[in-house]
Amino acid sequence: MNINKLFSLKGKTILVSGGAGLYGKCIVEGLAEAGGTIIIASRNLAKVVETANQFRNQGYDIYAMQVDQGDHTSVLNLKAEIIKQFGRLDVFINNAVARPMKGYNEPIEHFAESMHINATGSMDILREMCGLIEDSGGGSVINIASMMGMHGPDLSNYDGTDMGWPPPDYFFHRAGLINLTRYLAKIFAGKNIRVNCVSPGGLFNYQPKQFVENYCKKVPVGRMANTDDIKGLMVLLASEAGAYINGQNILMDGGMHA
């Protein structure tokens, strides 16, 4: 097949959870530029509608829907709405994340809330959307985890800042998502569904200057991730160009952990 055709997402219906967030917007942009029809969904409908409208004004085929992945009924409603409006789903980017825990010493209830959304909720939306993709004849699922799901925190990145240490729940559920990817790839063997994971490094978002300086010193590429960096990987894994990549976790950290 011609290489442009292999990478094309024309005719594919793609759901991006948390698509109005920091990495979500970059992912949506890349997939839309490759020709996909994108549904962005998260808790805050007004925010996803606003994001969808911004992309539609640029000529992309983008739709907004509401979902709280911590609520099973809400997940089922999203699935029903996708079937009603599009009749199928080809690709699911499992990108949403909630951050109820801010540091190590917070009440354990915050850890439990995080697990409810980021572990149980993530599994719930994955199972429902994988079912829909299977009913549509197959497709691709991409989990967005983090380099923090593969490595312990480098606390020296926070030296000289008042950012505090990163919270423990994040390290727990990002790591779980990476291995759940391998599990799902095996479960869906023979059903034409590929399941992969991308583990990005930190996206530059005007973090404190000292943090950015500490961080960038450790990255061979010499910078934090920018808004273009994740786009190519998303299109590769979502399209036919990635047809023989399955059950993988791809670290995208500029070489920080090489």
Ligand X SMILES: NC(=O)c1ccc[n+]([C@@H]2O[C@H](COP(=O)([O-])OP(=O)(O)OC[C@H]3O[C@@H](n4cnc5c(N)ncnc54)[C@H](O)[C@@H]3O)[C@@H](O)[C@H]2O)c1
Smaller CB distance to ligand X: residue 36 or 121? 121
Question: Strands 249-252 and 37-42, how do they pair?
Answer: unpaired
Name the nearest CA neighbour of 20 among 3, 1, 41: 41
Residues 83, 86, 87, 88, CA torsion sign: negative
Q: How many residues bind ligand X (CB under 6 A)?
A: 26
Smaller CB distance to ligand X: residue 18 or 242? 18
Contact call for residue 166 and ligand X (CB under 6 A) = no
Strands ordered across the beta sheet of 249-252: 62-66, 37-42, 13-17, 91-94, 139-144, 193-200, 249-252
CA-atom Rg of the chain in angstroms: 18
- The distance from CA 70 to its chain's CA centroid, rounded to whole angstroms, is 16
Contact call for residue 136 and ligand X (CB under 6 A) = no
Residue range at the interface with ligand X (CB under 6 A); choices 12-20, 29-37, 101-109, 159-167: 12-20
Among 8, 14, 21, 242, contact with ligand X (rule: CB under 6 A): 21
Residue range at the interface with ligand X (CB under 6 A); choices 42-50, 180-188, 211-219, 233-241: 42-50
Contact call for residue 181 and ligand X (CB under 6 A) = no
Contact call for residue 43 and ligand X (CB under 6 A) = yes
| CA distance linking residue 231 with residue 238, whole number of Å | 11
Beta-bridged to residue 144, according to DSSP, are 198
Residue range at the interface with ligand X (CB under 6 A); choices 67-75, 134-142, 186-194, 232-240: 67-75
Contact call for residue 194 and ligand X (CB under 6 A) = no
| CA distance linking residue 42 with residue 25, whole number of Å | 12
Contact call for residue 18 and ligand X (CB under 6 A) = yes
Contact call for residue 36 and ligand X (CB under 6 A) = no
Contact call for residue 38 and ligand X (CB under 6 A) = no
Amino acid identity at 152: G
Smaller CB distance to ligand X: residue 8 or 43? 43
Tell the smallest beta-carbon distance from residue 32 to ligand X (Å). 17
What DSSP designation does 147 have?
G
Among 8, 9, 13, 24, contact with ligand X (rule: CB under 6 A): 24
Helix (H, G, I), strand (E, B) or coil at 41: strand
Residues at the contact surface with ligand X, assessed by CB under 6 A:
17-18, 20-24, 42-44, 67-70, 95-98, 117, 121, 144, 146, 174, 200, 202-203
